[in-house]
Structure 1
Amino acid sequence: MDTRESKTPQEEYEHLREVRTPEDFEHPEPDAEQPEAKRPAKGWHWLLLGVAIAVGLLLAYRLLSVAWV
């Protein structure tokens, strides 16, 4: 992380050029520095959702079985 408070004129120019460059929506590509953005999701979110639903059903069953006693 850069902790300097001021930038050189060249650094300021580079920063402004990067910020003002419009995003290319026709040819979107992940940044080279973000290899995780290139990989597709492996399906872990479905597993997490299934476990959350199973736990919710188990808790509901336990609460209802206690209420019937």
Structure 2
Amino acid sequence: MLHPVTMTPEEAVARLWDIAHTLDELSDLESQAHEGDGGMASSLRLLYKLAEDCAVTLHPLVHAPKPDLVDTACL
């Protein structure tokens, strides 16, 4: 589901780093799974939100029209 997100490409990169750190936290939580899943559920929700925001932000960049690579100075 796409929704408006105001984020620069630099902020999107920072969010991707947040995702990486969240994955690291999930790794730690996985090893402590016997203690309950409250922290795991919260981390998974955060991971989903961060990934969704990045996807929404990067979607227009990926699907933007490509510039014409013909050098018009040579024409």
Q: Give the TM-score normalised by structure 1.
A: 0.34
* Structure whose CA Rg is larger: 1
Q: Which has the higher helix share?
A: 2
